Amino acid sequence: MNIYLAGPDVFLPDAIDIGRRKVEICARHGLTGLYPLDNTVDLAAADASLNIFKGNEAMMDAADAIIANLTPFRGPGADAGTVYELGYIAGRGKRCLGYSNDPSIYADRVARLGRVTDMPDGRRIDSLGLTVENFGLSDNLMMMHALDLHGCALVTPRQPPADIWHDLASFEACVRFAADVAAR
Amino acid sequence: MNIYLAGPDVFLPDAIDIGRRKVEICARHGLTGLYPLDNTVDLAAADASLNIFKGNEAMMDAADAIIANLTPFRGPGADAGTVYELGYIAGRGKRCLGYSNDPSIYADRVARLGRVTDMPDGRRIDSLGLTVENFGLSDNLMMMHALDLHGCALVTPRQPPADIWHDLASFEACVRFAADVAAR
């Protein structure tokens, strides 16, 4: 089973090393991890970003499933590129797995980032008057229920690990689930 | 041609009204707009968010294309639910259109939100040391090139409109493009 390893991990200073660790964990469970940075792209080329896209899309098309790192990134929710890829894999009818190393609830994170108001009708709104999704979910309902219905529920730790960008316990839980499915 | 109308518009105080306006613009161009809030969901039910997901997914499955409002929402980039839906439609092999009422560049928006550092090797990093995608694109490359390759390039105004949440000129440009495609 080929697993596309999506996540903002590619933006870490040690992006290549973390990809290697993820691929090794997959191999230990009999799975093949496909990590976006394994695509060979000349970053100095004018069409570098297009080549990254094409490489990632081809890798997703070669995958049977995704494990998406949905740990909040540069804002209250998951990294946009990762979210796009989760949607793409769901659209292809493939298995969707994901984890977040932040066990908190989306509506609570928005409240920590700025003023929110709980209205008499039950809606929570932010300082611009925009509704804050408030269903007690870890992130936007489209992602969360895509996992529920097309793979398995988001994996989160009870407490945030000491290093949210390098702890791979929840990632490995996803790998174990995928390996169980592959063995059926 | 059925067009799924994705965007954080559903979080606006006048979400139903803006949906009605978008559907009317589609109709004027001979297209059928499918707006997520037209799904009937009991928001007080325990499984409300799951029912919203199922309604949206069924609507996307009934659509031939998406017009995604990718105007930055609650952070430097597009709304996560909308990004998921763009990926899903791309995965289904359907046509991907989108607009943003903010014509700025992603890497510049990140720089406005917090300290960034341009490294000698050309990488821009944020205050946590995480790489900032810096290809001169309006948002994450996965979304931007999905539009380029599976629909048409992101539509943006030259200047941000006075009301970025209610101005529908760029939306209508997407509708015109979709109508041209449908007429071929």
State the residue for tokens 């804002």.
Answer: A75
Closest Cα partner for A174 from A146, A155, A147?
A: A155
B48 within a domain of the structure (yes/no):
yes
Mean pLDDT, 10 residues at a time, chain A of 184 residues: 97 96 98 91 90 97 98 95 98 98 97 92 91 96 98 97 97 97 89
B15 within a domain of the structure (yes/no):
yes
Q: What burial letters (b/e) apply to B52-69, b meaning 16+ CB within 10 Å?
A: bbebbbebbeebbbbbbb
Inspect the interface and report whether the beta carbons of B142 and A81 lie closer than 8 Å. yes
> Is A154 in the same domain as A166?
yes
B37 within a domain of the structure (yes/no):
yes
Q: Which of B85, B122, B141 sits opposite A87 (nearest CB)?
A: B85
**Can you give the CATH number for the domain in which B171 is found?**
3.40.50.450
Inspect the interface and report whether the beta carbons of A81 and B143 lie closer than 8 Å. yes
pLDDT digits (tens, 9 = 90+) for B22-81: 999 999 999 999 999 888 888 888 899 999 999 999 999 999 999 999 999 999 999 999
> Is A42 in the same domain as A118?
no
B139 within a domain of the structure (yes/no):
no
Q: How many CB pairs under 8 A join A and B?
A: 165
> Is A132 in the same domain as A161?
no
Determine the residue of chain B that is closest to A47 in CA distance. B135
> Is A98 in the same domain as A169?
yes
Calculate the alpha carbon distances from B87 to A103, B93, B95 in Å. Answer: 25, 10, 11
Question: What is the reported pLDDT for B63?
Answer: 98
pLDDT digits (tens, 9 = 90+) for B72-129: 999 999 999 999 999 999 999 999 999 999 999 999 999 998 899 999 988 899 999 9
| ipTM of the complex as predicted | 0.97
Mean pLDDT score of chain B, rounded to an integer? 96
> Is A88 in the same domain as A172?
yes
B84 within a domain of the structure (yes/no):
yes
Determine the residue of chain A that is closest to B139 in CA distance. A80
Calculate the alpha carbon distances from A141 to A77, A159, B76, B85, B100 in Å. Answer: 11, 22, 20, 11, 22
Kindly report the pTM of this predicted structure.
Answer: 0.97
Q: How far is B125 from chain A (nearest CA, A)?
A: 9
Task: Report the SS3 class of residue A174.
Answer: helix
Full domain range(s) for residue A34: 2-103+141-183
Inspect the interface and report whether the beta carbons of A139 and B49 lie closer than 8 Å. no
Determine the residue of chain A that is closest to B56 in CA distance. A142
The number of folded domains in chain A is: 2
Closest Cα partner for A59 from A12, A13, A10, A11?
A: A10
> Is A86 in the same domain as A59?
yes
> Is A131 in the same domain as A93?
no
Among B92, B130, B135, B139, the residue to mutate for chain A (most A Cβ within 10 A): B130
Question: What is the reported pLDDT for B184?
Answer: 86
> Is A112 in the same domain as A66?
no
CA A29 to chain CA centroid, Å, is 20
Question: What is the reported pLDDT for A44?
Answer: 83
B108 within a domain of the structure (yes/no):
no
B123 within a domain of the structure (yes/no):
no
> Is A65 in the same domain as A78?
yes
B38 within a domain of the structure (yes/no):
yes
Inspect the interface and report whether the beta carbons of A78 and B73 lie closer than 8 Å. no
> Is A30 in the same domain as A45?
yes
Inspect the interface and report whether the beta carbons of A84 and B142 lie closer than 8 Å. yes
Inspect the interface and report whether the beta carbons of B56 and A142 lie closer than 8 Å. yes
- Phi–psi pair at A124, nearest 5 degrees: -100, 130
Inspect the interface and report whether the beta carbons of A149 and B53 lie closer than 8 Å. yes
Radius of gyration of chain A (CA): 17
